[in-house]
Structure 1
Amino acid sequence: MHRDRLSKDFSCWNILMARLKRHRFKIIAASLVVFVLFYLYTQKEYGSELMNQSVSAQHLDRLSKQLLFNGPVRNIHSHNASSQGALEYCSSPNADSVKEWSHQVGPDANQYKLELVQMMIRHGDRTPLHTLADRPNPRISCKFFTKEKNLHWIVGKFISRMQNEKVDVNFENMQPFPNQPFCRQSYLTPQGAVQQLLNGLKAKHKYINQLDLFEQDFSERKVIAMSTVFPRTYQSANAFLYGFLSDYDVKVKIQRARTDFCSEKNSGLSCHCPGLGKYSKPQRTMRKMNKSTLQTISKFKQKIGSILDLNTKDIKSLTHMFDSLMVRVCHELPLPCNKARNSCIDQKLINTLWSLVGTDLKHHYQYNENHLITQHIKFHPLLVEMYFRMKNVTRQSSTSKFVLYSGHDITLTPFLMLLGIFDGKWPPYASTLILELYSKKEKLKVHYFLKIIYNGIDRTKDLKFCRGLDMCKFKYFEQFVNTHLENLGLSDYDSECLL
């Protein structure tokens, strides 16, 4: 009986295999159809929304939530960034900045033509530069995990492209994107690369899709990219450019640059400036912080010292402390605790620290005239370079359309100071400062105008030299470039630099 049942089962199995063999080609074909349909479905859901020329700011906002995959950075989009305290430092792209990335020139916007964009970025999320009283920082992965690769089509394509990129000898054979088991000190994280990828996509949406910056005639010559010689800035530039030029199969060569982006070739000025030394120390007449603020800072240090069993003398800098702690906040890692005392650093203390850092920075920059003078002199060549590039456009002697400067907070903050729009806050990761040049035809004459946007907010009206105008006349910017040193009681650049 048992043998008969086995024989019957074996016979059924042979019949089934015979049928499968007869219809194997149909089965293979059906499987391929299912696979192709599934692929097209996923591409439609995730791949086509950015490629669509009519993509809206709402689509970009939704995309930013998909791409910024870590908790605090993702959640920042659901509220006003200004109410997030220290979390706003984790990531510049937020709901407010998405709105500003859309084309907003004015009621007669169709009369203006975008001629040139010059953008300065701060690198994306990185591991800390500093430690808290020599205590080790947490280890952060510098590898893209599978879930992050599959998060959106652009992330997967970016990783594939970067894996096939040759190392650039001009950048000391640095990896083109985060691709190590763990990030070393002050290295760009995968999250930081994604932030810049998103910045690039937003720039593409506004400047290519909406304003047709390249006028349907793209050429690599129209894009200039520069980066300081650090992995975090070089990799940020690669990520930004991939997002920005994702419609084009190109690789723009990135040029090496100093941290102040001084270029003798582009500005015509010497980058050797020994005269800066006489302004390097704070003034004796520098206004001191008021007593209550100093007491608040002292009490805060004592509280942190008590929680972590640290001598307050070991807590030398608020910015160093903040830099060390924010890696935990931005990556949803537990904040330091003292089990013996049953006490921990919490988000409220982090927000207090963020506020105190802002107070400290604002005081240092605004009440130290020597520091202000130093920044005006040091970044004058970059200002002149940007001006010359715009001037060449007005003379119709330039092919450049987009210029990227990939730098640091120590690049961005002084330049904001020079322009007079520094808000006293440490520039968040992936911050952007954009100078847009527009032309407008009136009868037989062409006029040129400037707009300056910082982290998605139009700051043109706040520039004193723009005289409260939404569209700053280019001649006003020209006057500022020629007189900003004189307005501080200084001689010309060469006289100040060469002792």
Structure 2
Amino acid sequence: MLPEMLRLSYQHRAFYCYVILSVWIFLLVAGMYKYIGVDEKTYTQGRRPPSDISLREFPRNLKLDLKTKKIFRFCNSPDDINSGAEGKVDGNLTLEGILVFIRHGDRGPLTHVRNITTVNCAKDFGGSSEMESVYLAYQSFLQNVSSYSRTAWTQFLGPFHGFPMLPADSKECKLAQLTGLGVNQLLKTGLLLRNIYYNKLNLNNGTLSSKDVIVYSTRYRRTVQSAVALLYTFLEYDNFGNLAKINLQESQSLTFCNTDCACSAADKFSKQHSKEMAEHLRSHPAVANLIKQAGNVVFEMPEQAQSTDPNSLRDALLTYVCHNAPLPCIDLEVQQFCVKTEHVTSLFAYTEWEAKQHAKSRSQRKYGLLRAYGLLRDIVSHMLRIVSDAKPKVVLYSGHDKTLEYLATALGLVTDRFSMSHYASRFIIEVYKMNPKNENHIASDFYFRVVINGKDFTQDIPFCKNVNYFSVNVHNRPDKTDKIKAETKLCPIEAIIRQLHDDYFAPFNATNFKDACSIRKHG
């Protein structure tokens, strides 16, 4: 009997092992099929009908992690536009004026990209009912203002009087044109600046004039529309009174260089830097191959598809990423190739690394210094007018990412974050007056701060580090149980004047713009 029981026990054990092994093999095969199947469906598939487009990857449906957050930062949703260190200086100081530099808002791609009809560039309020009501009020304002005050509106727009002030009322992304999202970004920025500066600058006293607010824009629809959207929420909501007192002025260059634009040495340094960037890309053959493959999918124009510029491809991909659109695919005779989300994250990781090399480049720094000289001269000129006349109160420059990059270079802010500024970035210089016991003010009583996207960068400016003015502010804690001391460091205006006149051209072994721009001087 015992031998029989042992025999049955062994049989049962073998059967159980067989069942467990079978289940394990089934799960393994199923898992491998699922993994391979998804991979195949995403990378290469047979032709699919247009109705199947929902199977493609949607960037915003990704789980937010460190990599994707960095990518979405470039989109700069209106929900992410919040105040920071702006205007937070108390003590024995009075805010006298601000110089505001902005990059235009979200726009369509700069060149033709594939599947553009799947990208919805209509206005996006980010779920904010407040921003929706502001946008509708702005829309109504623009529709009515030209009818009841055509002369004043034309005078306000000046050289831009023929420009439409709102993007085309269409879901389609227009090449290089501001989108509804871009308008909302600047409306939100204007609200933010109004809350911080409007009362501090006494703009509410009813005496606003063209001497109080000066506005410059490059001759692109997206920069003009961005400036007007910001001014609308910054200066007023429901009437044309304030805007009618302002005149928009045109800059012929994205650097706002005025008469200091032509510079042969700058072109030479730009070419040197381009060679450096090409060398960096050659040292990363996998990235170069990715750019080539993804470029063929993203760009419709053959000459653009052959481009090896990672930043052009990054810019084009933002059109899909920032508008929650499917990443593009290209149909071949047998297969369909699609850009994958890991391609996007890999490309952005490389451009982030490249930006760090960009910040270290001596040729790029020299190029930026020469390009920004005219703008820095204009800034100092406005500062001196604020010192002597207490006007202008606000100077607005509506420009591009390169505008902000060159300005940062001119101030010695050499870091990778300024070579990749997001849409609707804001760069603000605040001018303060120290309040002495008597009323006789001199230049040494004036100071400035630099606040970029809400962060105070004054202490990162090399010529400000050893010449600071300390403003100590004491605040009550919310529970009123204790007091908080906050120390703010400002830079004397004399320091930026000295930098411009005495030290600016030291890297070129020159003392003036003409000599610094001479190719013969630089070999």
Q: TM-score, normalised by structure 1?
A: 0.72
1:173 pairs, out of 162, 167, 172, with 162
2:309 pairs, out of 317, 320, 341, with 317
* More displaced stretch, 342-351 vs 110-119: 342-351
Shift, 1:144, TM fit: 5.1
Amino acid aligned to 1:194:
N
Q: Is the 8 A contact 1:142 1:179 kept in 2?
A: no
| SS across alignment from 1:324 | helix
User: Greater Rg, structure 1 or structure 2?
Assistant: 2
Amino acid aligned to 1:327:
T
Shift, 1:236, TM fit: 0.4
Separation (CA, whole Å) in 2 of partners of 1:374 and 1:79: 37
Shift, 1:148, TM fit: 9.0
Shift, 1:276, TM fit: 3.9
* More displaced stretch, 314-323 vs 430-439: 314-323
The equivalent residue for 1:492 is 512
Shift, 1:154, TM fit: 1.7
Q: 1:140 to 1:231 in 2, by over 3 A?
A: farther
The equivalent residue for 1:114 is 95
Matched, 1:91 2:76: yes
| SS across alignment from 1:282 | helix
Separation (CA, whole Å) in 2 of partners of 1:276 and 1:343: 41
| SS across alignment from 1:354 | helix
Amino acid aligned to 1:90:
C
| SS across alignment from 1:98 | coil
Shift, 1:410, TM fit: 2.0
Query: Aligned ranges for residues 351-430 of structure 1 at < 5 Å?
Result: 351-367=345-361, 369-395=362-388, 397-425=389-417, 426-430=420-424
Query: Aligned ranges for residues 69-218 of structure 1 at < 5 Å?
Result: 84-91=69-76, 95=80, 98-100=82-84, 103-105=87-89, 109-131=90-112, 135=114, 137-138=116-117, 152-166=132-146, 168=157, 170-171=159-160, 173-181=162-170, 182-209=172-199, 211-214=200-203, 216-218=205-207
Shift, 1:278, TM fit: 4.4
Separation (CA, whole Å) in 2 of partners of 1:172 and 1:476: 39
Deviation digits for residues 113-153 of structure 1 (CA, Å, limit 9, x no counterpart): 11110011000000010345xx4634656665999998533
Separation (CA, whole Å) in 2 of partners of 1:72 and 1:225: 37
Amino acid aligned to 2:447:
F
Amino acid aligned to 2:428:
I
The equivalent residue for 1:440 is 434
Separation (CA, whole Å) in 2 of partners of 1:192 and 1:261: 21
1:259 pairs, out of 249, 253, 259, with 253
* More displaced stretch, 281-290 vs 224-233: 281-290
| SS across alignment from 1:117 | strand
The equivalent residue for 2:457 is 459
1:479 pairs, out of 498, 508, 512, with 498
Shift, 1:334, TM fit: 0.8
Q: Aligned residues: percent identity?
A: 24
Deviation digits for residues 350-371 of structure 1 (CA, Å, limit 9, x no counterpart): 232222122224434532x333
Query: Aligned ranges for residues 330-345 of structure 1 at < 5 Å?
Result: 330-337=322-329, 344-345=338-339
| Gaps in structure 2 of 5+ consecutive residues | 1-57, 147-153, 469-488
Query: Aligned ranges for residues 264-275 of structure 1 at < 5 Å?
Result: 264=258, 269-274=259-264
Shift, 1:103, TM fit: 3.5
Q: 1:81 to 1:439 in 2, by over 3 A?
A: farther
Q: Is the 8 A contact 2:298 2:305 kept in 1?
A: no
Q: 1:488 to 1:494 in 2, by over 3 A?
A: closer
| Gaps in structure 1 of 5+ consecutive residues | 1-70
Shift, 1:225, TM fit: 0.8
Amino acid aligned to 2:386:
V
* More displaced stretch, 438-447 vs 121-130: 438-447
Q: Is the 8 A contact 1:140 1:189 kept in 2?
A: no
Q: Is the 8 A contact 1:101 1:202 kept in 2?
A: no
Number of equivalences: 414
Deviation digits for residues 236-269 of structure 1 (CA, Å, limit 9, x no counterpart): 01100001012563223211112345465xxxx5
Separation (CA, whole Å) in 2 of partners of 1:110 and 1:188: 41
Q: Is the 8 A contact 2:201 2:393 kept in 1?
A: no
The equivalent residue for 2:343 is 349
Deviation digits for residues 15-60 of structure 1 (CA, Å, limit 9, x no counterpart): xxxxxxxxxxxxxxxxxxxxxxxxxxxxxxxxxxxxxxxxxxxxxx
Shift, 1:193, TM fit: 0.5
Amino acid aligned to 2:510:
L
Q: 1:218 to 1:141 in 2, by over 3 A?
A: farther
The equivalent residue for 1:236 is 226
Separation (CA, whole Å) in 2 of partners of 1:171 and 1:309: 31
Q: Is the 8 A contact 1:128 1:323 kept in 2?
A: yes
Separation (CA, whole Å) in 1 of partners of 2:454 and 2:446: 22
Q: Is the 8 A contact 2:122 2:181 kept in 1?
A: no
Root-mean-square deviation (CA), in Å? 3.8
